[in-house]
Amino acid sequence: MKQTFLIELSVLTALVVLCIFRTLQSRKKIRGSVLFVLSAIVIPLLGNIIIASSESPVVCNTGYMLFLMGTNLVLFTLIDFSFQYCAFTSVNRRVMAVVAVVLAADSLSVFLNNFFMHCYTLEETVLESGEIYYVLKSGLGHYIHLAISAVLIFMIVGNFMWKIVTTARLYLERYLVILLSVILVGLWEYRIVLLDRTVDRSMLGLAIGGILLYFFAIEYRPVFLMTALHELLVANMTDAVLFFDVDGRAIYANKAASEMFGITKASLSSSAALLGDEITGSEFVENGSRVDHDFRRQVEIKNGEETRYYDVTCQRMEDRRGNYLGTFFGIGDNTQVERERRESLYRQTHDLLTGMLNRETFIDRVNHILADEPDESFVMLLSDIADFKIINDIYGRERADGILQGIANAIRRTAHEDTVYCRWGGDQFAALVRKKNIDPEGLEKKIHASLKKGNEDNVIKFPVVIHAGYYAIQDRSLSVSAIVDRCRLAIAMVHDDYQRCVGVYDDKLRQERLWEQRINAELPGALSSGQIFPYLQPQYNSRNELTGAEVLVRWQHPSEGFLAPYRFIPIFEKNGMIAKVDLYIWEEACRILASWKGTKRDGLHLSVNISPKDFYFVDIYETFISLAERFGLDPKKLHLEITETVVMNDAVENINTINRLREYGFIVEMDDFGSGYSSLNMLRDMPVDVLKIDMAFLGKTSQPKKAELILNNIIDLAHQLNMLSIAEGVEMENQLEMLKQMGCNVFQGYYFAKPMPLEDFEKLAA
C-alpha cells in the first residue's frame, strides 16, 4: 500500500517539475505567480515521499514537518496567485503581509511541535501488507493549522467568486475553471482528513490541483471566450460577412451585411442570389453550392444615379481532410474611399474649370497613341482666343471663365468620339485628331458654328474670335510640346486676320521657323565679323543739294549672299534682338560722322532708326550721349528716327527720354508719318523736329486727289508747327515737282539714288 502511494507521489512530483519547466518557457505575465505555486507544492510532496518511504519515527516526523510547513507555503503562493490572476493589486500587499505573518506563526508552531507535542503526535500503524506507517494524530495546533488553511482556501474562493460576479460574462470562463479546480482540491483535502484514512493521501489532490492551475493559467485558451470574441468581432465588423453552406444557402450574415444588403431573417436562408452575381459572380449563383477557388475583386454597382463600390473577398472553406464546408464572403463598402480616390485622380488629370484633361495627362495620352498607332495619320490642333486678356480685364474673371467653359462644351459637341483634347493652358485648347476625321476647311466651319451655338446658348456672350493652328504630324520624334509649338506658329499666320481662323503649318512655315532660329544664332558672329554693315540712302533738299543720308542695315551672308532687310529685320524686331543690330549701326554712323570731320562731307547729317523695342532693352539717352561724347560729334548731325508706336507703351517715360535728347541737341524725326494710325494727338504730344512722310501713302488709295489734298495739308501743318518735312519713296519726277509745290523740304528715294555702300556715298558727296 505504501509502495503504491510512493509511486503516485513520485509520478505527481515529476509532473509538477515538468510543469515548472514549461512555466519557465511561458511569456505570460502570470507565469511568476504560477511558478511560485508549483515550486511550493514540491516541498509537501517531498515530505510525503519521506513519510511513505521510511519506517523511522524521526525521519517521518521530519517528513510531516515538511508537509505541514510546505502546505502553508502553498497556501501563501495560492493567495498571491489569486490576487495576481484576479488583478486585485490594490489590496495585495496589505493582505499578503497579514497572511505571511499568520502562516509564519503556524509554521513556527509546527516546528515547535518537536519540543511541546502540541500540534500532533505520530502513532505507529501496521498496514495489511505488514508495512509500518506512522499516522499523524491531531492536536490543538494541528486543528488551528486546519482552520487557518480553511480560512485561506475560503479567501481564495472568495477572490474568484468576487471576480466572477463583477466581471463581464464574456470572461467568466477564465476565472470559473480556476475556481472549480480550487474547490475540488479543497473538497478532496478535507474529505481525506475527515475520513481519517490510515494513509494520508490528501497531498495527491494538492499536486493535481497545482497541475490543473498550471494548465488553466498557462496552457489553456478559453474556448468559450475565444468563441464569443470571434462572434462579437464578426458581428460588429464594419464589413459585411456572409457564410453559405454546401447547398448555397446563406446560414449567417452579420449586422453590417443585413444593413448593407437589406438581408432579413426571412431572406437569410435564400440562395446566394440574394447578393446578386455582381458580388458573388455568376458561376456561384448558377451553381448555388460551391466555388472552385478563392478570389478578391472590386465591384461597381449602379443603383439609379448612385454608384457604390465594394471590395469582395471570397474564400472556399474546407476542413482538415479537404471536405468542402461552404463559402465565406467578406464585403467592404469602399464607396467613400473610392469616390475620394477618383476625385483625387480626376483633380490630378483634369482641368477643374472645363472638365477637360490637363496638359500633363494629355501629353501622356498623345505619346501613347502615337507610339501604339505608328501607321495612323494624326493632326494636332491648338485653339487660341484673340485678345482674351482684354476680355478678362474688362468683363472680369467669372465671365471670362464662362467663355472658356462654353468653348470646352463646343469642343465636346463637335469633336469626333476618338479625339483626345485638353485645356493646354490659359485660353488655349489642344486636340489630337485622326487626319481622316478633319480638314482645315471643315474646321473653319465648325469653329464659326460652335461660336454661334455658344451665343445661342447664352454661354459665350461676347464677340469672341478664335484662331486655330493645324499641324499634320509627320515627325513623331518631336515632343508633344514641340508639336503644339508648330500649331502656335500656324496661329501666328492668321492671328491678325479676322476673316480666317485656321492657320495650317506647312513646309514653308517650317522653313521660316528654321530660318529664324538660324539667323538668331548667327547674329553675334555676323556683327563681330563685319557681315552686317551700314548702307546709306542720300537725301536732297528742294535745290537738289545733298544734305545727308539715312543709315540702313544690310547683311552679306557667307552662304545666302546679300540679304534683303525683310529677311531678318522683322525677325529681330519680334524677338528684341533688333537692339543689338541698332547699337552696332548707331556706333557705325557715329564713326562715319567722325571720319567726315574736316572734309567736304563735314556738313552732312546721318539719320539712324530707333526701334520701339530699343526702349525696352537699351538706355536710349545714355547710349546716344555716350556715343556723341566718345566720337566728339555735334549732336545736330545725328538725326534720330522714331515711329509713332514708340508712344503706344510707356508714353510718358518715352516722351521724356526724347525731350532730353532734343535738349541735348539731337534732331528727332518721326518716321512713316501717315502710314500708320497717326493722329493730331501725335503731332501735339510727340516732341519731334521733322515729319517723314512715306510716298506709299499716295499709292494705297483709290482716291488719289483726296490723298494729295491730305498730303498737302500735312506738309502745311508741319510748317505751321515749325517742323521740317521729308518725303521718302520719291521715285518719279512728277512726284518731286508736286512735293516741291507743296513746300516739302527734303526728298529721299530711288529718283535720286538707291541705298548704297559707304564708299559709293562718299564718292557721291566728294
**DSSP of 681-719, one letter per residue?**
HHHHH---SEEEEETHHHHT-S-HHHHHHHHHHHHHHHH
Sign of the Cα pseudo-torsion (275, 281, 282, 284, in order): negative
DSSP 564: P
Higher pLDDT, 99 or 182: 99
- Residue 606 CB burial class (10 angstroms; 0-12, 13-18, ≥19): buried
State mean pLDDT over 485-499.
Answer: 80
Q: Of 276-285, 427-436, 699-708, which range is least confident?
A: 276-285
What SS3 class is residue 756?
strand
> What value does the mean pLDDT of the chain take?
84
What SS3 class is residue 610?
coil
Q: Tell me the pLDDT band of 84, cut-offs 50, 70 and 90.
A: confident
Of 8, 167, 134, 171, whose CA–CA distance to 60 is shortest?
134
State mean pLDDT over 530-539.
Answer: 95
Higher pLDDT, 754 or 311: 754
Higher pLDDT, 86 or 636: 636
Domain residues of the chain, as ranges? Answer: 2-226, 237-340, 350-505, 524-764
pLDDT at res. 131: 83
Tell the CATH topology of 237-340.
Beta-Lactamase (3.30.450)
pLDDT at res. 701: 58
Q: Considering the domain 524-764 in this protein, what is its CATH number?
A: 3.20.20.450
Give bridge partners of residue 331 from the DSSP assignment. Answer: 240, 312
Q: Tell me the pLDDT band of 744, cut-offs 50, 70 and 90.
A: very high
Question: Which percentage of the chain shows pLDDT scores above 90?
Answer: 38
Residue 460 pLDDT more than 50? no
pLDDT at res. 674: 64
Q: Tell me the pLDDT band of 38, cut-offs 50, 70 and 90.
A: very high
Q: Tell me the pLDDT band of 700, cut-offs 50, 70 and 90.
A: low
Write out pLDDT tens, residues 106-151: 999 999 998 989 999 998 888 877 788 888 888 999 889 989 988 9
Higher pLDDT, 91 or 16: 16
pLDDT at res. 195: 64
Higher pLDDT, 87 or 549: 549
Write out pLDDT tens, residues 575-601: 889 999 999 999 999 999 999 999 999
State mean pLDDT over 193-218.
Answer: 77
Those residues with Cβ within 8 angstroms of residue 731's Cβ, 6 or more apart along the chain or in another chain? 695, 749, 750, 751
pLDDT at res. 442: 73
Write out pLDDT tens, residues 264-302: 766 666 555 556 666 666 555 444 445 566 777 777 777
pTM of the model: 0.52
C-alpha cell read off for 692: 517723314
Contacts 24+ apart (CB under 8 A), 82-85: 82/155, 82/156, 82/159, 82/160, 83/159, 84/30, 84/33, 85/30, 85/33, 85/175, 85/178, 85/217
Residue 552 pLDDT more than 60? yes
C-alpha–C-alpha distance, residues 43 and 77, integer Å: 13
CATH number (3.40.50.300, 3.30.70.270, 3.40.190.10, 1.10.3720.10) of 350-505 reads 3.30.70.270
Residue 459 pLDDT more than 90? no
Q: Tell me the pLDDT band of 420, cut-offs 50, 70 and 90.
A: very high
Q: Tell me the pLDDT band of 362, cut-offs 50, 70 and 90.
A: very high
pLDDT at res. 288: 47
Higher pLDDT, 172 or 584: 584
Higher pLDDT, 37 or 706: 37
* Most confidently predicted of 80-89, 192-201, 301-310, 757-766: 757-766
pLDDT at res. 222: 60
Contacts 24+ apart (CB under 8 A), 647-654: 647/682, 647/685, 647/686, 648/612, 649/612, 650/615, 651/685, 654/615
C-alpha–C-alpha distance, residues 729 and 735, integer Å: 10
State mean pLDDT over 78-103.
Answer: 85
Residue 340 pLDDT more than 60? yes
Q: Of 218-227, 278-287, 655-664, which range is least confident?
A: 278-287
State mean pLDDT over 55-67.
Answer: 91
State mean pLDDT over 655-661.
Answer: 92
Angle at 613 between CA 611 and CA 616, to 5 degrees: 130
State mean pLDDT over 459-471.
Answer: 73
State mean pLDDT over 513-527.
Answer: 89
pLDDT at res. 192: 66
CATH 1.20.1070.10 fits 2-226, yes or no: yes
pLDDT at res. 561: 92
